[in-house]
Amino acid sequence: MADLESFRAETRAWLEANCPAECRGPLDNDEDRVWGGRNATFKTPAHKRWMDVMAARGWTAPQWPTEYGGGGLDREKAKVLASEMRRIDAQMPLSSFGVWMLGPALLQFGTEEQKKRFLPEIVRGEIRWCQGYSEPGAGSDLAAVQTRAEDRGDHWIINGQKIWTSYADKADWIFCLIRTDPEAPKHLGISFVLFDMATPGVTTRPIELISGKSAFCETFFDDVRVEKENLIGTLNRGWDVAKALLAHERTMIGAVGDMGRPISQVATDSIGLDDTGRLDEPMLRTRIAELEIDAAAFRLSMERVGDQVKAKQVSPAIASMLKYYGSELNKRRHELAMAAGGSDALEWESERSHKGTPARDWLRTKANSIEGGTSEVQLNIIAKHLLQLPGA
Amino acid sequence: MPLILTEEQTMLKDAADGFLRENAPIAHFRKLRDTKDADGVSRDLWKAFGEMGFAGVIIPEEHGGSGLGAVEAGIVAEGLGRTLTPSPFFGSSILAARILIDAASADQQSAWLPKIAAGEAILSLALDEGPKHQPSRIATTAERSGNGFKLNGAKGFVLDGHIADALIVAARTDAGVTLFLVDPKTSGVEIERTVMVDAHNAARITLTDVHVDADAVIGDVNAGEAALEGALNLGRACAAACLTGAGDQAFLTTVEYLKTRKQFGKLIGEFQALQHRAAHLFTELELAKAAVLGALQRLDAGAPKADLAVSIAKAKAGRVAELAVQEAVQMHGGVGMTEGYDVGLYMKRVRVLNELLGDAGFHAEKLARASGY
């Protein structure tokens, strides 16, 4: 405990000294996030500095081992760091699919050489990763992927198409599910491979969404050469890696249910209070209070799941549970934000609305319960573990 | 602090759940109900609660208790929810004990705490007056009279009030609320046992010119709200734990049913319509458990805004348990409506626990006000 308290004091002092003023407070919109990568953009030079100083301590991936550039913190210390960052409203120094998704899978399935090669550059925000999972014919039925690899001895030639690849047009490398044995049952012929998006034959095409933004892409592979050393885990057993990674992805998507300003503040700013001090829209107020109760319970549930994982008491359905609830919660949150904003929140182009941020964010959340496996797929997974029916 | 039980707490949970399964399963509850037992609770079981250390779970060791905290009290409450066991635990071990520990004089403490801890005495808190829990609107009065006070008013939903050895009565005094320790045999006290929908016990109590001495005051005159606060927080958190226990047990019973009942030549658990509802309910129950443990831990830590964590837990557990028992009955179909199946009993118990110490609406309102909207 004393150790934890001194860690808290040191962390607090260090954050005070090193977190630039520009990097405190909520982001105006998602585009201001720092994603890193070869073509990284930063809202201000301070944002780059913030990423770099945090990365130097490994605190862009606080719980990864230090030998791969991580912070080497145990769970309790990582919680302290997170709470001290929240205390000063520090922005995330680096948003990264490498940190959230690929890294944990590499730590579990990668060779020593692969970990040494890929993890430190993720921590430093030097390489931006994207995820090549879904295909036009493999959405909820992800194991039906058909992008195929031809064996050419020391390398493969890859052909096929991915879809809904988040930020593929901005990413440097991709982690990808490829069919390496077309004869095997569908779950047993898939491999998990990594390659550079600059390899000849890789093209991307952004997909315009209802939010007017294009976070997702179609990604095409035409005779793309990939060295076999970039296989993660065992050949044809990529589904095991994919599932482990999906668990991390789902937990991450679930966590979006807990971001941003409290909806009650958004509503009071917009609508105001009546003369008894209550939000001047009684029916909306009730819905907001119920949401805030669910959100608080969800926050505790995420914390508890983390503690259960550490104590090895966790149910395998838990990532699906967090994904399902968190994404549905976030959709509810944004429905209420729109109701709270009224006609102000409908403006699509004005500077006043930061170019329609409330409306665009609201529309973006509709994908939360689709990406990373639909809510219905999560419920299937939870039910399977829950009921343990013979033959299921 | 990690949001899981410690090793010692896990041992206590195993002991409490095991004890209740063995000594007070649902058959025990049914027997008390069906024989129209005069007390509505088993005195032998209450005594055994004392011997196991459950009756005095939060009572300091110097008064014969176990000297444990809110998390441990919640563990026992959750177990009581699973087995539906009628017990003076809530009224005596949680509400009365907390008030006495927090605010009573040394004499009052030594008169009652050891007896509660031993499972010998039953105490009841007479707080609510109308059909809804509104502790800020107490109308019962206590006027100064002679060397003491004269109490007038009417109380309801007094847990175990018909068998109480002492009542703790909240009444309005000149500048606030005051708590009084009242002997139920005092002249002017009328007690009507009210068997509730769940066949657990409560009472309506009428106070007509009830005279008590000055030493009946618990803590200071006009300081009753502060003296109540700890008890209300702990009681609400334990009610939430009990709701989670009842809801979870109804859910587990239903999952078993989904795995055994066949229709259309299949187990009904093979139908996706039911699978998704079961999976949703599982998720909600996990959230409720996290909210309850979070609240109990915050009470033990004396954390700022622990009362709001309690409101979140009570509201969430209440809503979730309500969903759990409704789904339990619906998924059982016709047999779910029968007296012979247990799921209906859980539905009744959850309804009562939801009203106890403020329903989800009360706690959502409290949270909204505290959050500035």
A328 plus A361 within the same structural domain: yes
pLDDT at A288: 97
ipTM metric: 0.94
The reply to whether A98 falls in a domain is no
Nearest-Cα distance to chain B for A214, in Å, is 32
Chain A CB within 8 Å of residue B288 CB: yes
Q: Binning pLDDT at 50, 70 and 90, where does residue A1 land?
A: low
A380–chain B nearest CA distance, Å = 7
Give the DSSP H or E segment for B316: helix B306-332
State whether A268 and B373 contact (CB < 8 Å): yes
The domain that holds A292 is classified in CATH as 1.20.140.10
Q: Are residues B247 and B334 located together in one domain of the fold?
A: yes
Are residues A173 and A225 in contact, defined by beta-carbon separation less than 8 angstroms? no
My answer on whether A205 and A294 are in the same domain is: no
CATH of the domain at B338: 1.20.140.10
Is-contact B26 B246, C-beta < 8 A?
no
CA distance A159 to chain B (A): 36
Res A256: pLDDT: 65
B130 and B179 assigned to the same domain:
yes
Q: How far does the CA of residue A9 sit from the closest CA of chain B (Å)?
A: 17
Q: Residue B13: which CATH number?
A: 1.10.540.10
Does position A259 have pLDDT exceeding 80, yes or no? Answer: no
CATH number at residue B203: 2.40.110.10
Q: Which residues contact B326 (CB under 8 A, 6 or more apart)?
A: B347
Among residues B88, B121, B154, the one where a domain terminates is: B121
Looking at the structure, tell me whether residues B237 and B109 fall in a common domain: no
Tell me whether strands A216-227 and A155-166 are parallel, antiparallel or unpaired: antiparallel
The answer on A138 and A161 residing in a single domain is: yes
Chain B CB contacts of A268 below 8 Å: 372-373
Quote the domain boundaries for residue B322.
225-371
Q: Are B140 and B63 in the same domain?
A: no
> And the tokens for A287?
């819905």
Query: So what's the pLDDT on residue A389?
Result: 86
Question: Going by C-beta distance under 8 Å and a sequence separation of 6 or more, which residues neighbour residue B216?
Answer: B148, B149, B180, B181, B182
| Chain A residues touching residue B360 (CB < 8 angstroms) | 293
Contact B369 A286 (CB under 8 A): no
Give a yes or no: residue B2 inside a domain: no
Distance from CA of A278 to the nearest CA of B (A): 5
Of A181, A207, A237, at which residue does a domain stop? A237
Nearest chain B Cα to A376, which residue?
Answer: B276
B217 and B267 both lie in a single domain: no
CB contact under 8 A, A264 and B372: yes
Helix, strand, coil share (%) of chain B residues, nearest 5 = 55, 15, 25
Asked whether residue A120 falls in the same domain as residue A145, the answer is no
**pLDDT class for A79, splitting at 50, 70, 90?**
confident
Domain ends where: B161, B188, B222? B222
Contact B272 A380 (CB under 8 A): yes
Residue A354 belongs to what domain range? 255-386
Both tokens assigned to A313: 């008491």
> A310 vs A380, which has greater pLDDT?
A380
Residue closest to A365 by CA, chosen among A204, A162, A262, A215: A215
pLDDT of A310:
76
In this structure, are B85 and B133 located in the same domain? no
pLDDT for residue A54 is more than 70: yes
Q: Alpha-carbon distance B45 to A166, whole Å? A: 61
Is the residue at A245 inside a domain? no
Q: Give the best residue of A75, A382, A385, A388 to mutate against chain B (max B CB count within 10 A).
A: A382
Token pair, residue A27, equals: 């982001």
Per-residue model confidence as pLDDT tens digits over A185-207: 999 999 999 999 999 999 999 99
B373 and A CB contact within 8 Å: yes
**Angle, in degrees to the nearest 10, between helices A238-255 and A318-341:** 30
A387 vs B: CB within 8 A? yes
In a domain, B1, yes or no: no
- Check B373 against A301: CB less than 8 A apart: no
Is A296 at the interface with chain B, CB within 8 A?
A: yes
**Gap between the Cα atoms of A274 and A30, Å rounded:** 33
Mutate: best of B251, B283, B322, partner A, most A CBs <10 A: B283
Identify whether residues B114 and B133 lie together within a single domain.
Answer: no
Q: One-letter amino acid identity for B301?
A: A
Q: Residues of B with CB below 8 A from A308's CB? A: 4
From chain B, pick out residues whose CB is under 8 angstroms from the CB of A267: 373
| Alpha-carbon distances, residue A67 vs A107, A123, B31, B32, B69 (angstroms) | 12, 11, 65, 65, 42
What is each CA distance from B204 to A369, B131, B159, in whole angstroms?
Answer: 50, 11, 9
Query: For residue A58, is it within any domain?
Result: yes
Structure tokens at A194: 């990594």
Angle at B231 between CA B151 and CA B197, to 5 degrees: 80
Q: Quick check: is A248 in a domain?
A: no
Q: Specify whether B230 is located in the same domain as B188.
A: no
Beta strands of B40-115 (E only): which ranges? Answer: none
Q: Is B293 on the interface with A (CB under 8 A)?
A: yes
A389 neighbourhood in chain B, CB within 8 Å = 259, 267, 269-270
Chain segment A327-380, per-residue pLDDT in tens = 999 999 999 999 999 999 999 999 999 899 999 999 999 999 999 899 999 999
- Give the one of B4, B279, B367 whose C-beta lies nearest to A386's C-beta: B279
Pair (B185, B300) in one structural domain: no
Same domain, A190 and A288: no
- Asked whether the beta carbons of A63 and A152 are under 8 A apart, the reply is no
pLDDT classification of A158: cutoffs 50, 70, 90? very high
A263 and A369 share one domain = yes
Total domain count, chain A? 3
CATH code of residue A150: 2.40.110.10
Answer whether B373 sits within 8 Å of A310, measured CB to CB. no
Please report whether residue B359 resides in a domain.
Answer: yes
Q: Considering only the beta carbons, identify the residue of A279, A290, A386 that sits closest to B373.
A: A279
Q: Does A78 touch chain B (CB under 8 A)?
A: no
A309 touches chain B (CB under 8 A): no
Q: Is residue B256 part of a domain?
A: yes
Residue to test with chain B: of A380, A387, A388, A389, most B Cβ within 10 A: A387
Tens of pLDDT, residue by residue over A132-150, are: 999 999 999 999 999 999 9
Q: Does one domain contain both A330 and A286?
A: yes
- Tell which A residues from 233 to 262 touch B, by Cβ distance under 8 Å: 262
Number of A/B CB contacts below 8 angstroms equals 126
A392 inside domain: no
Assess A279–B contact: CB distance below 8 Å, yes or no: yes
Q: Chain B contacts of A382, Cβ < 8 Å? A: 279, 282-283
Asked if A266 and A227 sit in the same domain, the reply is no
**What is the rounded radius of gyration, in angstroms, for the C-alpha atoms of chain A?**
22
Dihedral in degrees, nearest 10, Cα atoms B130, B132, B137, B141: 30
- Residues of chain B contacting A290 with CB distance shorter than 8 Å: 364
Residue B371 touches partner A, C-beta closer than 8 Å? yes
Pick from A276, A300, A303, A384 the residue to mutate for testing the B interface (most B CBs within 10 Å).
A300
- Percentages helix, strand, coil for chain A (3-state, rounded to 5) are 50, 15, 35
CB–CB contact A383 B289 (8 Å)? no
Same domain, A78 and A134: no
**Are B287 and A313 within 8 A, CB to CB?**
no
Q: Name residues 170-189 of chain A within 8 A of B (Cβ).
A: none
B250 inside domain: yes
Q: How many domains does the structure of chain B reveal?
A: 3
Of the residues A124, A147, A169, the one at which a domain ends: A124
Pairing assessment for the beta strands A129-132 and A173-179 based on DSSP bridges: parallel
What is the torsional sign of CA B184, B185, B186, B190? positive
Length of chain B in terms of residues written: 373
Where are the alpha helices (H) located in chain A, listed in sequence order?
2-18, 45-56, 75-87, 97, 103-109, 112-123, 238-255, 263-271, 282-310, 318-341, 357-365, 375-387
**Residues in B touching A298 (Cβ below 8 Å):** 287
Distance, in Å, from the CA atom of B45 to the CA atom of A366, rounded to the nearest integer, reads 54
Q: Which residues of A touch B291 (CB under 8 A)?
A: 296-297, 300-301
Minimum distance, in Å, between the CA of residue B314 and any CA atom of chain A: 10
Same-domain status, B247 and B151: no
Write the CA distances from B372 to A285, A340, B367, integer angstroms. Answer: 11, 16, 9
CATH code (residue A59): 1.10.540.10
CB contact under 8 A, A279 and B278: no
pLDDT at A392 over 70: no
Could you give the CA distance from residue B174 to residue B178 in angstroms, rounded to a whole number?
9
Whether residues B150 and B88 fall in one domain: no
Mean pLDDT, residues A173-195 taken together = 96
Task: Collect all residues of chain A within an 8 Å Cβ-Cβ radius of residue B294.
Answer: 300, 303-304
The rounded percent of chain A whose pLDDT value lies above 70 is 98
pLDDT the model gives residue A391: 62
Q: End of a domain among B93, B121, B149? A: B121
Q: Model pTM?
A: 0.92
Domain match, A265 and A187 both? no
Q: Do the beta carbons of residue A193 and residue A225 sit within 8 Å?
A: no
Asked if the C-beta of A380 comes within 8 angstroms of chain B's C-beta atoms, the answer is yes
Residues B212 and B278 in one domain: no
Question: What pLDDT score does A50 carry?
Answer: 97
Active site residue ranges of A: 249
Is residue A242 situated within a structural domain? no
In a domain, A73, yes or no: yes
- Please state, rounded to an integer, the average pLDDT across all residues of chain A: 93
A246 is a domain residue: no
Q: How close is the nearest chain A Cα to the Cα of B287, in Å?
A: 5
Q: What is the mean pLDDT of each run of 10 residues along chain B (373 residues)?
A: 94 98 97 96 97 98 98 98 97 98 98 98 98 96 96 98 98 97 98 96 97 97 96 98 98 97 97 98 97 98 96 98 98 96 97 98 97 96
Tell me how far apart the alpha carbons of residues A99 and A64 are, in angstroms, rounded to a whole number. Answer: 9
Q: Which residue, of A103, A124, A145, is where some domain finishes? A: A124
Alpha-carbon span B341 to B52, nearest angstrom: 30
Whether the CB-CB separation of A31 and A167 falls below 8 Å is answered with no
